[in-house]
Structure 1
């Protein structure tokens, strides 16, 4: 019979009361659902949209926001790299805008140039390989490279380390470094690991590459650092009137302008940019040989250092095309470029600035266009540009990438929706035994809880020993102490029994639960005693009475005990970490704890979301049994 009758519901005051109750319930549901929706939304975040606390991620409904997020991932979360490649002045990815006034013909020329030139791997980097700001994320191309490498070695990390000379402790440590081949300190590696990655780079599609430009590197890594006062300071010292750093141009050879222009260019080529991007005139050969002669004294001493067999210094070729990357030859060439003075004779040797020329993809593209069309006027007429000089020609990377972005907005959205979750799944399930260990641990914990606790409660309820309440008091006292207090004694006992790094170490400390026994005894006491008497008269054994009567009628409370045992085992990370320090015995929670210590907000939210799914599933499976235990006694 309802508390409020049908007639009573027609009252205005009752209607107000019911409406108020529904409103309060609705508001209560919002307070529960809204934080969960924020969690779901946060699980898609990267560094660029971390400050946003909204239920619907902006990149799902706004292409401009998606473009910012795409640029962040494309340039591996490096603003410096983006400014150098695109030659813009944006201070943060949140402020990046899509390019305006796109020239499709120039983009087509750039595409044709890339297909035709087939440049070496050190001319470009690969997008979506690192996430230094978001932390912990495995971007798209890193996932691809990791998958290819794992397939090659059959998932055997030890074999990978042995063959490629790496020292990865786990697949979760798999990473690649951000390419930076313009800096003086950079090097093209020759280890098996680096060569493996370079092979992967060569197979990356053109639209997923970011090309390093000497012009952009000059402005971003040199000019801006020389003028902390910004463009105003530069204009004042150079007598210029630039309105943006994009107005600056790097001269291929020593500039014919002011002395300060020549001085800056000279310092840049000798100390900042890597010699691999310099080309020296063959006229340098006599001076280079004289330098080596004075540095080593004899051809025999040079041959000993170089591992060569030159008959004389005249046989040594100059490195006019590209200098060596490693060894004493590279060191000698670098000293010759910067300038070397013989401490004994006082003679100084240095490559004259007039014999140095800079190369890079921007200069190569410029030469390719001029060669194709003959001169600048024909180029402007055919391509629809308005270049005033060859120096105005720059690679249209921003427009090229934006065109590709517009074609793939759907796929890019899906990538950002799933990549944090894929990172968590990869960390937990793809390599290692976290999932299997968790399933075994939770299953054994539930089974033990449904065997040991009911048996203890049945003995206290059925046979009523004189010490029943003393035993119950002892069991209840265990609830007064937090689990942390017992961790050290448990650890010492398990160590003495040589049970560390076993499932027994996880299960035995919680095998019997005082609170569960207390609940079960109370439930068993409420069962009709006539059933036990009838069963005894019919000759049923205690085991049969326990299984067929007590356990059959106690499904609701058993469901509660099972749910409690599962949540306790599933959420146990500290004890699991303490008694199972071997990673091969870790359950999901220790891995999640480790992941969260080294990850950004997006991955942390995704890990929380993934971790909540098993608990939700178990609760859904148990709720019908629990509700039956609430409803049936009321109906009785």
Structure 2
């Protein structure tokens, strides 16, 4: 409704726009409301970002000082929101608090593009909306005029008695001498006629016979867009990504937890799987085939089937809310053991026989012969382990209830509870970058790891 009620003054000369801009900059704070507020369903806006940056400079990045001054418990400057300011309500009074006083200081420094003048016409529209409970069809004809909705009700179409009655009943005391709309009308009258008639009153505004143009709100906005189009596009392109990065920084342990989990998962799988595969390859037993079938059979069950048993086991062992709860259940992979065993079996046995003749123990032959020749497969194994750990959400959410231990994917899931779809798309795009970078940097090793076992 705010946007619809400010679509006035679409045509104006450059001189009129400059005059109106100076008029806005000279208005006291109570005569205008800040534009670019956070819209319904959104999580941030230009005003909020500018306010948070101003607070960061004012308190020199000291969040504790802000919390003490404002008696708040903000976890980051990104979570501080502007104070509520209901200038259009008749009963609302500005609070005498440190936060609101600082808000007024911030507000006075805002440029003209952030200033929306308080219009008596909008006060009239909102008053009528409340009087008739948002039912436009119930509004009497003498109030409607040519309007088709509450946003198009025009105070200038009312007769003087009705206008005077509205000002007495609904307009706050701070606007008894006229809001910004009246002030613009008075200034334009003086500019055009050179003097102000004493009979002019706040309820006698925007009279078609006076020849005074309405405030060029829409025209000033159009000029701003035309002059700063590229800047506005860049701001829209970056805003959601910046919000996601701020969100991640607020929950700073998410990055560390994810990095630690991925590193531990890759490390344990590179240790456990090669050891198991090497043992099955070098020391075959009659049950080797059955063991491999048993290991591969685990792939037939969805991961969700094992979540509850794993959770109960980890709970009984007292490992919940720890990296062990994340790493131990994925330390071994039946498919990777099968793949590595087949690769170890394909290695020339002469290499191991030569090592045995030289007196090399099995650990040396494994680390000096088998593993170096298996680097492509181990690289593929490391990639699969990284992808599984990095993308793990549901299991990590199940075994880790402590928010301090949550990984990045859990926080991204939590973000969707408050963020709109556009922010979620930005979050998923940023979350996909690490996997893309890992794939691009290890592309050759990955391809060799996929092709080489098949060739052998």
TMscore range, shorter length = 0.7 to 0.9
Structure whose alpha-carbon radius of gyration is higher: 1
| Aligned equivalent of 2:200 | none
Deviations 1:538-595 (A, max 9, x none): 2222222111211111122212211111111111112222222222222110111011
2:3 aligns to what SS in structure 1? helix
The Cα offsets for residues 184-208 of structure 1, whole Å up to 9 and x where unpaired, read as 3544233333333333222222222
User: Aligned equivalents of 1:239 and 1:113: distance in 2?
Assistant: 31
Distance change (3 Å), C-alpha of 1:376 and 1:520: farther
The answer for unaligned runs of 5 or more in structure 1 is: 1-79, 89-98, 280-358, 378-385
- SS of the equivalent of 1:552 reads helix
Q: How far off is 1:479 after superposition?
A: 2.3
1:114, distance to aligned residue in structure 2 (A): 2.7
What residue is the counterpart of 2:430 in the other structure? 610
Matches of residues 152-551 of structure 1 in structure 2 within 5 Å? 160-168=66-74, 173-176=79-82, 179-219=85-125, 221-222=127-128, 226=132, 228=135, 236-237=141-142, 248-249=154-155, 256-257=160-161, 261=162, 265-266=164-165, 269-270=168-169, 272-279=170-177, 359-375=178-194, 389-390=209-210, 392-429=212-249, 431-551=251-371
Shift in alpha-carbon separation, 1:162–1:516, aligned structure 2, 3 A: farther
In the alignment, which residue of structure 2 is the partner of 1:142?
A: 48
- String of CA shifts for 1:382-434, please: whole Å, max 9, x gaps: xxxx9854584432111112111111000011111111111222212355222
Say whether the 8 Å CA contact 2:8–2:216 is kept in structure 1: no
- Residue of structure 2 equivalent to 1:569: 389
* CA shift in 2, pair 1:547/1:498, >3 Å: same
**8 A contact 2:377–2:448 mirrored in 1:** no
Alpha-carbon RMSD across the aligned residues, in angstroms, is 3.4
Per the alignment, do residues 221 and 468 of structure 1 end up closer, same or farther by CA in structure 2, a change over 3 Å counting? farther
Q: TM-score, normalised by structure 2?
A: 0.85
Change in Cα spacing, 1:468 to 1:631, as seen in structure 2 (3 Å) is closer
What is the correspondence of 1:10-49 to structure 2 with a 5 Å cutoff? none
CA separation in 2, counterparts of 1:545 and 1:469?
Answer: 24
Distance 1:170 1:239 in 2: 48
8 Å Cα contact 2:85/2:94 also seen in 1: no
Equivalent residues of 1:85, 1:397 under 8 A apart: yes
CA contact (8 A) 1:125 1:211 kept: yes
Which of these residues, 6, 9, 12, is aligned with residue 102 of structure 1? 12
Distance 1:578 1:633 in 2: 36
Change (3 A) 1:146 1:242: closer
CA deviation map 1:254-274 (0-9, x unaligned): 9545xxx36xx525642x433
TM-score, scaled relative to structure 1:
0.63
Tell me, yes or no, if the aligned pair for 2:380 and 2:450 is still in contact at 8 Å. no
Cα deviation, 1:460-481, whole Å, max 9, x if unaligned, reads 1111134423332332233233
Residue in 1 that maps onto 2:199: none
The equivalent residue for 1:125 is 33
The Cα of 1:458 is off from its aligned counterpart by 0.8
User: 2: CA distance between counterparts of 1:246 and 1:392?
Assistant: 19
| Counterpart contact for 1:129–1:176, Cα < 8 Å | no
Shift of 1:624: 0.4
Q: 1:267 to 1:613 in 2, by over 3 A?
A: same
Aligned with 1:125: secondary structure? strand
Gaps of 5+ in 2: 197-205
- Is the Cα contact below 8 Å between 1:166 and 1:193 reproduced in 2? no
CA distance in 1, matches of 2:58, 2:146: 57
Aligned to 1:35: none
Separation in 2, partners of 1:390, 1:503? 76
Question: How many residues get paired?
Answer: 446
Aligned residue for 1:613, secondary structure, equals helix
C-alpha spacing 1:441/1:132, structure 2 compared with 1 (3 Å): same
State the alpha-carbon separation in 2 of the partners of residues 501 and 149 from structure 1: 35
